[in-house]
Amino acid sequence: MSPQKLDAAFSALADPTRRAILARLARGDASVMELAEPFAMSQPAISKHLKVLERAGLVSRGRDAQRRPCRLEASPLRAASAWLERYREFWEASFDALDGVLETLKQRERAARKRKEKK
């Protein structure tokens, strides 16, 4: 995925309304009216969110007679997840190292307590 597309995906995902729209579309295609139902905002406002999601490649619109259902497009999410995965591995290694340091500190503290108890 190009850096520009990755930027667009993360920018689109930064908004809670857009994440909620994607969560709804993960259950199946929906019209703009259906997507607008749970939100306290107008249909044009939902349409603006959908345009951001479309530009990021996260949503597409089909044609079904008069209806234009919105559909989740998962490939940009897979690419964003793969990008994040590299950093997850880094953080896991960092947390493992931190666990080792904390265990060493606990052992030293236990040893110091035992020395005090002997005195």
Is 96 part of any domain? no
Q: What is the pTM of this model?
A: 0.72
Is 22 part of any domain? yes
Is 69 part of any domain? yes
Is 58 part of any domain? yes
CA angle 110, 113, 118 (to 5 degrees): 125
Query: Residue 56 sits in which domain range?
Result: 3-75
Local confidence pLDDT in tens for the 119 residues of the chain? 788 999 999 999 999 999 999 999 999 999 999 999 999 888 899 999 999 999 999 999 987 777 789 999 989 999 899 888 888 888 888 898 999 999 999 999 999 988 888 87
Is 116 part of any domain? no
Phi then psi dihedrals of residue 61, to 5 deg: -120, 130
Report the CATH number at residue 21.
1.10.10.10
Q: What is the pLDDT of residue 14?
A: 96
For the stretch 7-14, contacts whose Cβ atoms lie closer than 8 Å and that sit 24 or more positions apart, written own/partner, are 8/55, 8/56, 8/57, 9/56, 9/57, 9/58, 9/76, 9/77, 9/79, 9/80, 10/80, 11/52, 11/56, 12/52, 12/53, 12/55, 12/56, 12/58, 13/58, 13/80
Rounded CA-CA distance 67/11 in Å is: 28
Residue with tokens 């060493």: 104
Residue with tokens 């929906």: 30
Is 31 part of any domain? yes
Number of domains in the chain: 1
Is 33 part of any domain? yes
Looking at residue 42, its amino acid is S
